Structure 1
Amino acid sequence: MKKLSKKELATHRLEQQINLFQCPICHEKMKTGDGKLTCPNRHMFDLAKQGYINMVQQSKKTQYDQSLFEARQRLTQSGFYRELILAIESLLQSRDTEFLLDAGCGEGSHLAQILDKIDHQFGVGVDIAKEGIQTAAKAYESGQWIVGDLANTPFTDKAFDVILNILSPSNYQEFTRLLKDDGIVMKVVPGPEYLKELREQVFAGTDQEGYSNEETVARFKQFFTIKHRKQVYDEVALTEDQFQNLIQMTPLTQDVDLSRLRFVDSITLDLEILVGEK
């Protein structure tokens, strides 16, 4: 039997789950056909041959390029965030989750690893960075990948059982619209010791050497009732390749000469998962 192309696989998924989608321009329901998503007002979005859809009216240049997303994908695939993925999977195992959204999915590795372990879920990854979505679509067939604006996502009201937001910007008004009445938002935020060995090098002697997530947590509480908080803490051994991928992908080093950073063979993974309900 001929293997389906990524575009054919994505078309099949969209046909099955078309009720999740609405036009980001006029908010009408969508239909699929001829490799496109269209609405009654003839707004049209093409399915790329890699299987993703760009549903942003005007492309928005982000500060992140292809090399950053590829480095992040290599690091995540190497198991760097293994304890985080296991913790998320554990929290999801007790739920009957059909539709899962990774909001700000980047290059898709977190969502892909979760979908590999949790059965019977339709997973969607959305990100404003086209380079990230292209990287995700190239590597993974398990999710549906969308270039979309978190302030105006192309999904219907109350579409998702679970919204993941992992180390990424949020739009809580939109999350509230998208979440089912009995759904949950799982937001992953850095803890005070997250990547402290790298932070000590980059921000030595400045206020940024330390970190607090209190403001982020307080903002989350304005929109959602926190039902559970889970810390993920690990000392992760690093190879030279992993270290290079880490310093290429983290926003901590955005304005830093990477050549001056000293290799460390172990780094602290300190994260907290906030589980919130409407």
Structure 2
Amino acid sequence: MTSTLPYTSTLYRCPLCQEPLTPEHSEPKQISYRCVNRHHFDVAKEGYLNLLPVQHKNSKQPGDSKAMLQQRRQFLESGAYQPLVSALAEQLQHLAPVRMLDSGCGEGYYSAQLKAALPATEFAGMDISKSAIQLAAKRYPDIAFCVASAKALPYGDQQFDGMLVLCAPFELAEVKRCLRPSGYLMLVTAAPEHLLQFKQAIYKEVRLHSDAVQALAGFKHLQRQHCRFMLQHLGANAYLSLLDMTPLGWKLPPEQKQQLCQSLTQLQADFYIDSYQYGS
């Protein structure tokens, strides 16, 4: 049996011609999407759409690998980043978006946590990694997931009144197109001392992340929240999972990574949550 997406009527547009996509039953229990130019896309058995044309791929299998995704899921589901989840949920509960997009959603952890905190909000998630979206859709069937590129979002104009971009690339013109007037963008970035102990062990000279607020044309910056917490006594396996979630994991051979993570007793997590309003 092929899953259906949780809501579908006006959300998507064709990635090939940009016309609206309409759901239809091509077979019993099988949902497809078709545009007026007869481009069609089937809902996968896990319950997601693949709206990433080959010309939008930057490699054969773009995005995070299966191994990296499993490491990320294992780490996040330990609850180590719960302070960040709680901070995001609190802000969104005040904004009360009707429909929210998690752009660059990975395996869907944050989408699902925020959906649980805002049950009345419709959530969609997209990522360029097919493996990530397969994991997300299978685990969280009440969220509309699709494979796509942030450079060409596969959604109709003004479909969302809230958008989350958490440590992921984004295309400002596409964010503007898909947000409704006065819609909100929540941008999560690494603050200066994020994963500082990893960097101190890897680099002779540590470069801290910038603390500058990004000026986004067409958006008013509403507030910045500094979400800073210590990851203490997680154990070598958890620290190793976190290290392998980041490009820092590529800097060391396996035995040195293991030694580093076994020696750690604490690790700094440091994020900025910047909230913007479109058209203000």
- TM-score, normalized by length of structure 2? 0.89
Counterpart of 1:27? 18
CA distance in 2, matches of 1:106, 1:8: 20
The answer to whether 1:249 aligns with 2:238 is no
Give the C-alpha shift of residue 80 in structure 1. Answer: 1.6
Counterpart of 2:180?
Answer: 180
Judged with a 3 Å threshold, the aligned counterparts in structure 2 of structure 1 residues 56 and 8 are, in CA distance, closer, same or farther, namely same
Aligned AA (2:244): Q
Letter in 1 for 2:24: G
Structure 1 residue ranges (4+ consecutive) displaced by more than 4 angstroms after TM superposition: none
Structure 1 residues 63, 23: closer, same or farther in 2, change over 3 A?
closer
Equivalent position amino acid for 2:241 in 1: N
Give ranges in structure 2 of 5+ residues lacking alignment. 26-30
Matched, 1:36 2:8: no
> Does the Cα contact within 8 Å between 1:172 and 1:223 map onto a contact in 2?
no
How far does the alpha carbon of each residue in 1:115-157 deviate from its partner, in whole angstroms, 9 at most, with x for none? 0111211111101111111121232223111000111111011
1:234 is the counterpart of 2:229: yes
Give, in whole Å, the separation in 1 of the partners of 2:3 and 2:191.
41
SS of 1:94's equivalent in the other structure is helix
1:221 to partner: Cα distance? 3.2
2 CA distance for matches of 1:173 and 1:76?
31
CA contact (8 A) 1:226 1:274 kept: yes
SS at match of 1:120: coil
Identical counterparts, % of pairs: 27
Output aligned runs, 1:123-272, within 5 Å: 123-203=123-203, 205-206=204-205, 209-214=206-211, 217-218=213-214, 220-237=215-232, 238-261=234-257, 262-263=260-261, 264-272=264-272
Q: Work out the number of aligned pairs and report it.
A: 264
| 1:56 Cα deviation after fit | 0.8
Paired residues of 2:192 and 2:211 also in contact (CA < 8 A): no
CA distance in 1, matches of 2:176, 2:254: 39
Change (3 A) 1:153 1:51: same
CA RMSD of aligned residues (A): 1.6
What is the TM-score when the length of structure 1 is the normalising length?
Answer: 0.90
The amino acid of 1:82's aligned partner reads Q
Higher helix share: 1
What SS does the aligned partner of 2:115 have?
Answer: helix
